[in-house]
Chain A
Amino acid sequence: NAGVTQTPKFRVLKTGQSMTLLCAQDMNHEYMYWYRQDPGMGLRLIHYSVGEGTTAKGEVPDGYNVSRLKKQNFLLGLESAAPSQTSVYFCASKKGPLRQYFGPGTRLTVT
């Protein structure tokens, strides 16, 4: 099992550009999450999904959109990137009451 994978690992964007981060898991997990982590801070939930075709807002959803068309994939989109979105993005997945498994992270810089 590859576990949770994220693509890309690094990206530099100019203000106003768009991009999509891909999260994939091969563990048949129902729940998937997108977090951002800024220096010296814990993780903040952007959006999450409790199953294929469903998504919901987390703590900091503004400026992001998500889609879960397939159970194994959870996409995070930035339509018009801003410097405030410079961060490390982590995807996670879980099955029922069990713990979350994390991807390796994507380091995004917006100039």
Chain B
Amino acid sequence: EDKVVQSPLSLVVHEGDTVTLNCSYEVTNFRSLLWYKQEKKAPTFLFMLTSSGIEKKSGRLSSILDKKELFSILNITATQTGDSAVYLCAVEDSNYQLIWGAGTKLIIKP
């Protein structure tokens, strides 16, 4: 059975800290891995990763995929209170279906 596992489930850090969120997967017919941010509303898109070893970056956020070890990480540097959210990882299969992880709840304390 396909599955996506995120860790940790929750994380509390102080403003300015750097955090690393993990996503491991076992999905037949992998197509891509996506990261979304959710703040009490619909998920908003962060990154789509299809190739191993190529870092995607957007401001203080970056992500990388390892297709050999079947995982991805999402890094957030110099965290701000506005980064507090649930971060969702999902893997898309060849049928364009997404298998979602349970999410990591990130709390940034001022």
Taking Cβ atoms with an 8 Å cutoff, the residues of A that contact B are: 31, 33, 40-45, 48, 50, 58, 90, 94, 97-105
On whether A100 and B98 interact (CB within 8 A), knowing A42-B88, A42-B103, A43-B88, the answer reads: yes
Given the complex of chains A and B, what is the CA–CA distance between A39 and B100 in angstroms?
Answer: 14
What is the CB-to-nearest-CB distance from B48 to chain A, in angstroms, rounded to a whole number?
A: 5
* Besides A43-B43, A43-B90, A45-B97, 20 other A-B contacts (C-beta < 8 A): A31-B96, A40-B102, A42-B4, A42-B88, A42-B90, A42-B102, A42-B103, A43-B88, A43-B98, A43-B100, A50-B96, A58-B97, A90-B43, A98-B48, A99-B34, A99-B45, A100-B45, A101-B45, A104-B41, A104-B42
Those of B28-86 within 8 Å (CB) of chain A: 31-32, 34, 41-45, 48
Q: B62: shortest Cβ distance to chain A, in Å?
A: 17
Q: Shortest CB–CB separation between residue A105 and chain B, in angstroms?
A: 5
Contacts of A58 in B (CB 8 A): 97
A48 touches B102 (CB 8 A): no
Residues of A within 8 A of B96 (CB): 31, 50, 94, 97
Query: Can you spell out 29 A-B residue pairs with CB atoms less than 8 angstroms apart?
Result: A31-B96, A40-B102, A41-B103, A42-B4, A42-B88, A42-B90, A43-B43, A43-B90, A43-B98, A43-B100, A44-B100, A45-B97, A48-B97, A90-B42, A90-B43, A94-B96, A97-B31, A97-B32, A99-B34, A99-B48, A100-B34, A100-B45, A100-B98, A101-B45, A102-B42, A102-B43, A102-B44, A105-B41, A105-B42
Q: In the complex, which residues of chain A have a beta carbon less than 8 angstroms from the beta carbon of B90?
A: 42-43
| Cα-based distance from A73 to B34 in the complex (angstroms) | 25
Whether A42 touches B97, Cβ cut-off 8 Å, given contacts A99-B34, A103-B42, is no
